[in-house]
Amino acid sequence: MAITFANIFFLAVIFVLFYSKKDEVFRIRVLLYGSLLFYFYYEPFLTPLMGVITLVSYLAGNALAAFPKYKKSILWVFLLSLLCLYYPFKYNGTFAIIMNDIFHFKGLRWLYLPLGLSFYSYKTMTYIFDIYYERSLPQKSIEKYVLFISYFPQIFCGPIMGAEEFFKQLKFDQDYHHDNVFHGLRTIIIGLFKKLVLANNLILLIQPAYFTPSQASGLEWILICVLTRFYVYYDFSGYSDISNGVSLLFGIKVKKNFDLPFVSKSIGEFWRRWHISLAAWIRDYVYYPLVSKFSSYAGIYISLIISFVCLGLWHGDHINYILYGFINGVAVAASTYFMKKNRLAPPAPKWKMIMSRFGLYFFLIFMPSFLLLSPDSATFFEIVKAFLKTETWFATDYISGLNILSIVFWVIPLFMIFEYVLVFYGEKLRLRFEEVSKPQRLIWLVFGIFVTFSLLSPQINYRFLYQGF
């Protein structure tokens, strides 16, 4: 899915219909039928898969509440049912190979990953786990539950929102709220800027290297890894901003999915600021249950590594995704260990702290970034070979083929300034902007949209990266 006029028109129609009648049931149905239509437009053949997963989870939630004596059995039946529906599509390549090797069945190559499968499947697990651990009650209204799973601003790339957090905001009997709409549009514009201006310009620079990884040298791959991390950030946080802004138009407030991760002082803090909804899901439903089984510090570190490997597997079953999770798990475990060890040590000199933070970002955050963008294991191994090829390590042929000035004088300064303004002046700008009259706010919003679409974004409109997960 890319940003298109059709999507904007669809949003405008849903917005007008939503506020055309002050009735809670009517508004829920506008969002529900709009969400189902939206998903069916993009996934007409695999919409029934979402329907089956939704129905199975809804029935399982009711069964957990009705038969608490058998809740462990019900949970396992649900998880196995979800696995049978989820695994063949999410890990279709591996599944097809296994079926061919065991049953000599070669008819499964047509399987592909449906848009949003990981996000809506993890939503169903959130719902079931919360009922199982008695954190919430099952939703009685099937309409509200289907809306929770299929909610169109979040269906393709999240964020993964908790069921109770969503349901308690479905009180749609209030009047049109100007501040919600204004703040929603402002958040959407920030997201559009991140995606169309920053992410789409960055992918133009780095994408060719992933098609022909052996053409770039080790030195060039260092630059590509740095740009890749910024690309992933601006692409995904841009979608999250757009999603949160659209939700705010309807009065639904969603927590941030990214919270300025590049100001982090440790790898642990980075992961508390990066893809917050997925990291929180892994923490609550993988790490906490695992660590509760151990009574030693070693158990904490093992649980961290396993949790991050699961995070890598969420992206896919290629070796690069598993390695990405493992590297980050080891890094967070090591960071946790040394933070405990250094708590009683005297404070280090400032220059050592600066150097350690540089090493943190360079080796643990930027360098593994290529693992996320490698389309398959073969590409991953080609990139590793490029890093190890010492005779051409300092070559600059790939960079010479690009407009290097566009990297140095356009893209990098643009997103550095953008981050700096958000970190140090974001709150001040927000307060100043709220003092401006409503008509002037509208003028500035229209101007922002015009600049974003017309002047700064490249001609090619790339899809969002995380809809492929």
- Of 59, 68, 22, 14, nearest to 41 (Cα)? 14
pLDDT at 152: 92
Whether residue 454 has pLDDT greater than 60: no
Rounded mean pLDDT of 17-33? 92
pLDDT at 182: 81
CB atoms near residue 91 (< 10 Å): 18
Q: Is the peptide bond before 44 cis (omega within 30 degrees of 0)?
A: no
| Structure-model confidence comparison of residues 110 and 432, the more confident one | 432
pLDDT at 76: 96
Provide the pLDDT confidence category of residue 382 given band limits of 50, 70 and 90. Answer: confident
CA distance 412 to 282: 32
| Structure-model confidence comparison of residues 174 and 308, the more confident one | 308
- pLDDT (tens digit, 9 = 90+) per residue, 102-140? 555 555 555 667 888 888 999 999 999 999 999 999 999
- pLDDT (tens digit, 9 = 90+) per residue, 225-273? 888 888 889 888 888 999 999 999 999 999 889 988 887 878 888 889 9
- What's the whole-model pTM score? 0.85
3-state secondary structure of 170: coil
Whether residue 90 has pLDDT greater than 80: no
Torsion on CA atoms 161, 165, 171, 174, rounded to nearest 10 = -80
Residues 6+ apart with CB under 8 A from 283: 307
Looking up tokens 């992961």 gives: 271
Distance from the Cα of residue 282 to its chain's centroid: 13
Residues 6+ apart with CB under 8 A from 8: none
Provide the pLDDT confidence category of residue 37 given band limits of 50, 70 and 90. Answer: very high
Whether residue 8 has pLDDT greater than 90: no
pLDDT at 380: 81
pLDDT at 416: 62
- Of 124, 121, 143, 179, nearest to 30 (Cα)? 143
Retrieve residue 435's tokens: 């003092």
| Structure-model confidence comparison of residues 25 and 3, the more confident one | 25
Round the average pLDDT of the chain to a whole number and report it.
80
Residues 6+ apart with CB under 8 A from 338: none
Whether residue 460 has pLDDT greater than 60: no
Whether residue 408 has pLDDT greater than 60: no
Please state, for a pLDDT cut of 70, what percent of the chain lies above it.
75
Provide the pLDDT confidence category of residue 355 given band limits of 50, 70 and 90. Answer: low
DSSP 8-state assignment for residue 251: T
Retrieve residue 162's tokens: 């908790």
Alpha helices of 215-291 — where are they, by DSSP H?
218-249, 267-273, 276-282, 288-291
pLDDT at 281: 92
| Structure-model confidence comparison of residues 21 and 450, the more confident one | 21
| Structure-model confidence comparison of residues 363 and 206, the more confident one | 206
Judged by average pLDDT, the poorest of 16-20, 246-250, 353-357 is 353-357
Most confident of 52-66, 259-273, 358-372, 441-455: 52-66
DSSP 399-451: HHHS-HHHIIIIIHHHHHHHHHHHHHHHHHHHHHHHHS-HHHHHHHHHHHHHI
Retrieve residue 344's tokens: 């009683």
Rounded mean pLDDT of 402-428? 61
pLDDT at 246: 93
Q: How many CA atoms lie within 13 A of 391 on its CB side?
A: 0
Domain ranges of the chain: 5-176, 180-415
Provide the pLDDT confidence category of residue 146 given band limits of 50, 70 and 90. Answer: very high
Whether residue 469 has pLDDT greater than 60: no
CA distance 377 to 428: 46
